[in-house]
Amino acid sequence: MKIAIVPGDGIGREVMPAALAVLDAFGLDIEKIPLEIGYGKWKRTGSAITDEDMSIIKECDCVLFGAITTPPDPNYKSVLMRLRKELDLYANIRPFVPLANVKLPCNKKVFDFVIVRENTEGMYSGIEELHEDVAYTTRVITRKGSQRIAERACILAKGGKKHITIVHKANVLKSDSFFRDVCTGVAKRNGISFNEMLVDAMAYDLILRPEKYDVIVTTNLFGDILSDVAAALAGGLGLCPSANVGDRHALFEPIHGSAPDIAGKGIANPIASILSVRMMLQWMGREKDAQVLGRAVDSVIAKGIVTPDLGGSYSTMDVSEALSKIMSEYLDQVH
Ligand code: NAI
Ligand code: MG
């Protein structure tokens, strides 16, 4: 197994070593290919990602990604958008389940849903025009894109989660009534129970009644926003992982960004990245290892070995080291 390792910028460079230490504890036969990609590289070389980086990544089985800074510079093209498009990582899968012993901001303790966000088109089509007095972004919704994301949602629904909620703004956007109709057709064809929600009502209801939801399928921008809402519900951005998957490639990353406000202090919560490794293990078919990792995360939090965002005073690497140690003990018991 060959994995491209992209720490990126800011806290990406801090949480990646923490995640790799945990991955190493499994002793798997993995070749790691480190790649410098991101804003730091852009400042140094004028290019955030090169064609050579892309071809190295395409030869790898998957990518483990930290986070990158996207500056508000019109000449800077988002690296993640390029990766998602060129690797055709059309499904962004973001599970939200409260972790044991994490204090939650709302009074909701029991929920377990996954946001399935279309990842290659919609508002992030990249088709944009910037003029003196007006700017345009073209929102692209295709039948193919909508169909395949709905199929992904149905696979998740069949694999344990039961119900699909199709989220859109079809009362205003024609592109979204198209998205809704395609998704509805796919759900019916698959015999999956479904309902639909307008995105604004969804944001509201997600906070009040998160326990109602199983699989939420939506377009790119709405999925981006709803997943930060969901991250707040689940205890914070430092806890939430994601998988970007296509038919051939996959990329695993925390949903948070490069967090310039805390970068360089060594206090970023590595759990989102570590749980992204867990999603990678599941994608590899290593369900038992993924379970061990999940138990170790619960245990480290129960012991109070957590970073300041969770009220602790431990560093990123303290958490990673404690977790790796607990995991090695579990692995000794398993083997
Ligand atoms: P952000 O996710 O980096 O940070 C938002 C807030 O959450 C900050 O207060 C930060 O300190 C906190 N936070 C995030 N991750 C944390 C962690 N692991 N532990 C503790 N606290 C954590 O979002 P923001 O500030 O809007 O964006 C910063 C930069 O990151 C921007 O350049 C943005 O474009 C980029 N970004 C990159 C993403 C990616 O690489 N996938 C995703 C989101 C933003
Ligand atoms: Mg986001």
Mean pLDDT by 10 residues, the chain (335 residues): 97 98 94 97 94 97 96 85 94 96 82 97 93 97 98 94 95 98 98 98 96 97 96 95 96 97 98 98 95 96 96 97 92 75
66 membership: H or E segment, kind and range: strand 62-67
Q: Which two tokens stand for residue 332?
A: 């000794």
Counting other chains too, the contacts that 189-193 makes at CB distance below 8 Å and 24 or more residues apart are 190/151, 190/154, 190/157, 190/158, 192/153, 192/154, 192/157, 192/158, 192/163, 192/164, 193/157, 193/162, 193/163, 193/164
Q: What pLDDT was estimated at residue 76?
A: 85
Q: Which atom of ligand 1 has the smallest separation from the CA of 39?
A: 32
State in Å: Cα 259 to ligand 1 middle: 4
Residues with CB under 6 A from ligand 1: 11, 15, 67-70, 80, 237-238, 253, 256-262, 268-269, 272, 309
State in Å: Cα 177 to ligand 2 middle: 24
Round to whole Å and give the CA distance between 56 and 63: 11
Task: Tell me which residue of 281, 308, 307, 283 sits closest to 295, measured CA to CA.
Answer: 281
Q: What domains are defined for the chain?
A: 1-89+244-335 (3.40.718.10), 104-234 (3.40.718.10)
Phi, psi of 200 (to 5 degrees): -70, -40
Amino acid at 326: I
